[in-house]
Amino acid sequence: MSQGHFIVFEGIDGSGTTTQCHQLADYLRHAGIPFILTREPGGTPAAEKIRDLVLDPALGDISHTAELFLYAASRAQHVEELIRPALDRGDVVICDRYIASSLAYQGYGRGLDLDTIRQVNMLAVIGCMPDRTIYLDLPLEVAQARRDKRGEVVDRLEQAGESLQEKVARGYREIAKGDHTALVFDARQKEAQLAGNIRDALRKQWPWFPAEENE
């Protein structure tokens, strides 16, 4: 495997993107495949500071356009400092959220123009796009039940309420339909079963992807 591969996980809050990112990372680690595991917003010291700002409930009601540019600024730093160098080394990059999250949250959720969001983000990432995007589809009520069970601290976007989350969920489904990198999974599956199905799908895409130990 001479060139890197960029895998992004997307889905509504509570869909399991973080869990499945770690599942895939653990599998690649065990197989001896070089990778990095990262997240958005964040991934680098500067980008993490932007994350802290944009998700802080104390930030209040900033304009939706300002929110878009904060996410894009974090993404630009993330790509330049971490993602692109890793891909250039030939590593697999596993990222918890990317541009589709901006389209879903700022576009479908906040109502900003989708083409504008794409243009801003294309400037931020300078062509650094995922090879495969794993969309985890989950009913809102199931996602909410999972978040309640975990007792997570509610961030600023989650405080926006169920109406925003409904729009975001619809947005993800629409985005996935038009995404040639998309692999869509029903996230109601058991954690291990879903992880195995994701690996099976990636194995069909790439000859280098390691086989299961019992194969």
Instruction: List, for residues 79-127, the tens digit of each pLDDT value.
Output: 999 999 999 999 999 999 999 999 999 999 999 999 999 999 999 999 9
Which CATH superfamily does the domain covering 5-205 fall into?
A: P-loop containing nucleotide triphosphate hydrolases (3.40.50.300)
Confidence of residue 2 (pLDDT cuts 50, 70, 90): low
Domain range list for the chain:
5-205
How far is the C-alpha of 112 from the C-alpha of 109, rounded, in Å?
A: 8
Confidence (pLDDT) at 152 = 63
Share of the chain above pLDDT 90, in %: 82
Instruction: Give just the sign of the alpha carbon dihedral 113, 158, 21, 10.
Output: negative
SS3 content of the chain, % helix, strand, coil (to 5): 55, 15, 30
Give the tens place of pLDDT for each residue, 30-80: 999 999 999 999 999 999 999 999 888 888 788 999 999 999 999 999 999
**Nearest 5 degrees, angle CA 70-CA 76-CA 78?**
105
Residues 13, 143 contacting (CB under 8 angstroms): yes
Share of the chain above pLDDT 70, in %: 93
Give the tens place of pLDDT for each residue, 137-187: 999 999 888 888 876 655 555 555 568 889 999 999 999 999 999 999 999
**DSSP reduced 3-state for 42:** coil
Q: Which helix (H) or strand (E) holds 39?
A: strand 35-39
